Amino acid sequence: MYKWRKLKDRIFFAVILILSIIAITPVIHLIVVTLANGLSVIIRAGPSFFTSIPPAPTSKDVGGIAPSLVGSLMLTALALPITIVIALFSSIMVNEFPRNPLSIAVDVVAKSLASIPTIAVSMVVYLLVVVPMGTFSTLAGVVALTIVSLPYAYTYFSTYLRSIPETYREAAYSIAMSRWKTVTRVFLPIIRRGVLVTVLMTMARILGETAALLFTVGRYRIGVSTSILGPTDALPLLIFDYILTPYRNFQEIAWGAAALLLIAYLIIFIATKLAVRGVKL
């Protein structure tokens, strides 16, 4: 009896192991291929990969990705805090006043925004921001990225907030904490890990977003731009454009940028795993 149970245990374990290997093989393959192709480019180009502009199509130079890198950093630095603040406040409002018409509206809007294709967001922002301003801009990109990532961050925050047992609200109220203090001193600390994970995941989402930027930032690659009202570029756009060209040095640049983006993703992923210890309930 005991032996049979042990055998079953082993078989079960073996099946799980094989299935897991099947599941992660494509991911590992993707990581290895991207790093192998990209890192060799970065190494060959040296530090100038990060500081120079892309090469001319047929030149022997490897060139660099500085405009897109700076653009991506700026877009993320602006869009991430805006997204997080709005998403956090609205998820708190909906959690605290679920029957308030405004909360119901926010919830519905957030859920429907999540299902709009990001390329459509890009078109709408093109009409509402780019056309009136007469130019592509970092600002338009930030608006598009915020719209795209808001429902994402909002959904995460709401899920974490809803997971807090009601009994902690009661405990807080019973010692005469106000609603606001209950949120800031009880709820947010309890879900602190979730908040940090959400920030990191949203950051990853913003860094990798491509379609939302298609008609908004303008692919400015002839120099590094730090202007908020002028055009800029982003890593995913650069990859998207250059990998489709017939030029070998463009494709190399794309691989290098992809490797960089992938490394950023891996760092973010590891950070979410290491992120502050969760609260044991």
Residues near other proteins (CB under 8 A): 98-99, 165-179, 181, 185-186, 189-190, 192, 279-281
- For residue 86, the minimal CB distance to other proteins (Å) is 25
Q: Are 78 and 241 in contact (CB under 8 A)?
A: no
Q: CB 275 → other proteins: shortest distance, Å? A: 15
Nearer of residues 57 and 165 to other proteins, judged by Cβ: 165
State the nearest-atom distance from the C-beta of 274 to other proteins, in Å.
Answer: 19
State which residue, 266 or 279, has the beta carbon closest to other proteins: 279
Residues 185 and 179: their CA atoms lie apart, in Å, by 10
Distance of CA 209 to the CA centre of its chain: 7
- In 52-137, where does DSSP find H-type helix? 66-96, 101-113, 118-125, 131-133
Q: Buried b vs exposed e over 55-71: b needs ≥16 C-beta within 10 Å?
A: beeeeeebbbbbbbbbb
Nearer CB in complex with other proteins: 39/177:
177
Nearer to other proteins, 27 or 175 (CB): 175
Shortest separation between residue 160's beta carbon and other proteins, angstroms: 13
Q: Compute the distance between CA of residue 165 and CA of residue 180 in angstroms, rounded to an integer.
A: 17
Question: Smallest distance, Å, CB 182 to other proteins?
Answer: 10
Of 192 and 264, which has the nearer Cβ to other proteins? 192
**Residues constituting the chain:** 281
Rounded to whole angstroms, the Cα distance separating 53 from 209 reads 21
